[in-house]
Chains A and B, each alone.
Chain A
Amino acid sequence: MSHLDLLTFARGSALNWALIIFAAGVVLRLFEIFGLGRKADLAKPRTGSPGSGWRTIFTRSLPAEGMLKRDPVTYIGGYVFHAGLFLAIFFFAPHIEFFRSMTGLSWVSLPTALVDASVVAAMVALGVLLAHRLNNRVKRMLSGFGDYLAWAVTILPLLTGYVAYHHLFVEYTLMLALHLFSVELLLVLLPFTKLFHTFSLFVSRWYNGEIFGRKGVAS
C-alpha cells in the first residue's frame, strides 16, 4: 500500500467509520445520562433564579474566588491547552477547507503562524499538565489508565499535525495519513473516555447551576 493509498483510506472509509462511531457513541452516552432521568423537585424555588443553569455553563469557565492561587498550573495549563486546541481545530486554513468540503460551511482562518504558535502552546501545556499530574499527590491518586490514554490520544493529533505541517522526519503524505488516523483514534475514543466531558460538561454545569439557582445561590 502506497502512502497515497494510505492517505486515501484515512480520508475515506477510516474517517467515515470514525465519524459514525463518534456520533453513535456521543448519542449513546447522552442517552445513558438523560435516560436515568430525575425526580421533580417539589420544594418551592426562590424567585429570581431563571436561567441559572445556563449561566453556570458560562460562569464555570472562570476560576472560583481564590482558586487560581491554589492551583495555577491546572488553571493556566488548562486554559492554554483548550484555547490552543480550539484555534488549531477550527481556525487553521486547511482544516476550514476540510470542514467546507464536508459541510459546505466555511469561515475566516487565522494566520498560519498564529495557529502554529497555538499548537506549540497547547502541546507545551499538555506536557506541563502531564508532569503536574505525575507530581501532584491528588492528581496522581485520581489518575488511572484512562487518564493517560486520554492524554496520549489528545496530544497525538497535535503532534502529528505539527510534524506534517513542518515536513519533519517523515514523508508528508504518510504523515498526513498518520495525522488523520490520530484524529480518528481521538474521535473513536472520545465518547468512551473522560474526553466525553467535551459534551457532558454542559449538562453537569447546567445541573449544578440549576440545583443552586433554585436555592437562590449563583454557582
Chain B
Amino acid sequence: MSANLAKGINAFKEVIDAPIASFFSSCVHCGLCAEACLFYTETGDPKYTPIHKLEPLRRIWKQEYTLLGRLGKLLGLSKPVTDAELTEWKPLVYDSCTMCSRCAMVCPVGNDMTYMIRKMREGMAASGHAPDGLIGASTRSVEIGSPMGIRLPAVKAQMKHVQADTGIEIPMDVVGAEYLVLMSSMEIINFPEYLGAIAKIMKQAGKSWTLSSEAFEATNSGIQIGASDIARVLVQRVVDGAEKLRVKTVISPECGHAFTALRWEGPNLVGHAYTFEVQHILEVLDDFRRAGLLKTTGFEETRLTFHDPCQIVRRGGVLEQPRNLLKLVAKNFVDTKDHGKMNWCCGGGGGVSAIEEAEPLRLQAFKAKKAQLEETGAKTLVTACANCRIVLEEGLEHYHMGIPVVGLTELIADHLTEGE
C-alpha cells in the first residue's frame, strides 16, 4: 500500500462516525436517491446513484467497524480499497456530486449522502485523488488569500470604482462596526454590483459596516476539496478579522458554500463557538425589511423566478427570506415546480464548477434546471449565490435560452427609494 493510500484510508477511518454507521446500516439499496440526483436523471447512468458514490467508504466502514466485516477481512474474504478504485471513484465523488443534498431529502431511511461525501472527500484528498482544479483553488486560497488568486489591491480597486459609481464611501477596517461584509472572489471579479448594492442598502438602513483588509474572502475551497486543515486556516482568517474589528455580525455573501463553511462548519473547524453572529446577506436584508429599514419603490414587471442555492436554502435554512424580499420588488414572481428545499441544483456547486474536466457533464446535468425554468416561462432568473449565478449563466448561454441572471441583493438595491 502506498503512503498516500494509507493516509487516505486512515482519513476514511477517522471520519466514520455514528451517523455514517447508521446510514450504511440502513441502506436497503432501493435506488431512490438516484431519482433525486440531477447527474443520474439527466444521464440515465446508474453509476451516478448517490449511495454508489460512497461505495469505497462503505467498505472501509464494514471492514473496520462491523464484526462480520472484520471477520471477513481476517479471513481474506473482503475486497480492499485500492488506489485504482479511488481513481475510478474520483469523478463520482467530485465531478458528479455538488453536495446539493437533494438525495438526503428523499432517502426513505434518512441517509444524508452529502454528510458522507463531505467526509469521504477528506480521504480522497489525503490519498491524492482530488481534482487538479480544486487543488489549485485550495493552494491559491492558502498562499494568496483567494481561490481565484485575488489580492487586496484588487479589492481596493473595486472599492474605488464602487465609490465613484455610487458616491458612497466604502469603509475598510473600521473597528466597532456592526457588520463585517465578506465577498466571494466571483463577486470581486465578475459581479462588482454586489458591493455597490451593499453600500446603498447599508446607507439607507443607517447601519455601520466595514470590509476587512485581512478577511475579505468568504469562499472556502477546503470544504469543497475535503481538507479540513485548509478549511480551518481559511475560517480562522475570518474569525481573526471579525474579532480584531469587534463586529457584531459577519455577513456571508451571495455564495452558497461560503455560508456552509462559515455558518455551519466554521465553529467546528476552529474548535469553538464564535464571539459574533454569522448571517447570510438575505437574512440580514430580511431583518432590515421586518424592521422597516428597507424602503423600496417600483416593481419589476417581467415574469421572474428564483433559483434556491442549495447551500443557502436546503443546507442553510434560508427558506422564506428570498421570497419575502422578492415580494417587495416583483409583481410577477413565480416559483419553479420543485423549489425551496426541493429545488434542483445548478450543477456547479460543491466545487464542481472549478473542475475543468467536469464541464461537459455539468452542462448535461443543467438540463434539469433548464426544464424547471422553461416550465415557469420566466424571463429573468434571480438567485443569491455568485457561483450558481455564473454556472446558470453558462448553462443558459449553452442552451441559447437568453434569460438574464440577477443577484437578489442587487435587485433590492436597484429598487431602494432614492435620497434616503
Within 8 A of B (CB), among A163-208: 192, 194, 196-197, 200-201, 203-208
Q: Does A134 contact B (CB under 8 A)?
A: no
B44 neighbours in A (Cβ, 8 Å): 137
Decide: A64 near B105, CB < 8 A? Known: A29-B25, A42-B273, A208-B111: yes
| Nearest CB in chain B to that of A196: its residue | B25
Q: Does B364 contact A (CB under 8 A)?
A: no
| Nearest CB in chain B to that of A61: its residue | B108
Kindly specify which of B27-35, B151-159, B353-361, B389-397 makes contact with the partner chain: B27-35
A147 neighbours in B (Cβ, 8 Å): 29
The one of B67, B111, B268 in contact with A204, judged by C-beta atoms closer than 8 angstroms, is B111
What's the nearest-Cβ distance from chain A to residue B147, in Å?
23
Within 8 A of A (CB), among B315-347: 315-317, 319, 337-338, 341-342
Q: Does A43 contact B (CB under 8 A)?
A: yes
A65-B23 Cα distance, complex, nearest whole Å: 22
A113 neighbours in B (Cβ, 8 Å): none
Q: Does A141 contact B (CB under 8 A)?
A: yes
Number of interface residues of A (CB under 8 A): 57
The one of B17, B32, B110 in contact with A201, judged by C-beta atoms closer than 8 angstroms, is B110
Within 8 A of B (CB), among A21-41: 28-29, 32-39, 41
User: A217 contacts B314, CB within 8 Å?
Assistant: yes
| Nearest CB in chain B to that of A215: its residue | B317
User: A64 contacts B106, CB within 8 Å?
Assistant: yes
Q: Does B128 contact A (CB under 8 A)?
A: no
The one of B35, B110, B313 in contact with A207, judged by C-beta atoms closer than 8 angstroms, is B110
Q: Does B404 contact A (CB under 8 A)?
A: no
Q: Does A78 contact B (CB under 8 A)?
A: yes
User: A36 contacts B105, CB within 8 Å?
Assistant: no
User: A36 contacts B341, CB within 8 Å?
Assistant: no
The one of B26, B67, B106 in contact with A203, judged by C-beta atoms closer than 8 angstroms, is B26
The one of B23, B266, B273, B317 in contact with A216, judged by C-beta atoms closer than 8 angstroms, is B317
User: A208 contacts B104, CB within 8 Å?
Assistant: yes
Kindly name the residue among B27, B31, B314 whose own CB sees the greatest number of chain A CB atoms within 10 A. B31
Q: Does B81 contact A (CB under 8 A)?
A: no
27 chain-A/chain-B pairs, Cβ below 8 angstroms? A28-B67, A29-B25, A32-B65, A32-B67, A36-B65, A38-B17, A43-B268, A57-B110, A60-B110, A66-B337, A67-B32, A67-B35, A71-B32, A78-B108, A196-B26, A200-B25, A200-B109, A203-B22, A203-B26, A204-B109, A205-B109, A209-B110, A212-B104, A216-B317, A216-B319, A218-B341, A219-B104
Q: What 4 pairs between A and B have smallest CB-CB spacing? A: A216-B317, A205-B110, A208-B110, A138-B31
Interface residues of A (CB under 8 A from B): 28-29, 32-39, 41-44, 46, 56-57, 60-61, 63-67, 70-71, 74, 78, 136-143, 147, 192, 194, 196-197, 200-201, 203-209, 211-212, 215-219
Interface residues of B (CB under 8 A from A): 16-23, 25-32, 34-36, 40, 44, 46-47, 49, 51-52, 65-68, 104-112, 115, 263-268, 271-274, 313-317, 319, 337-338, 341-342
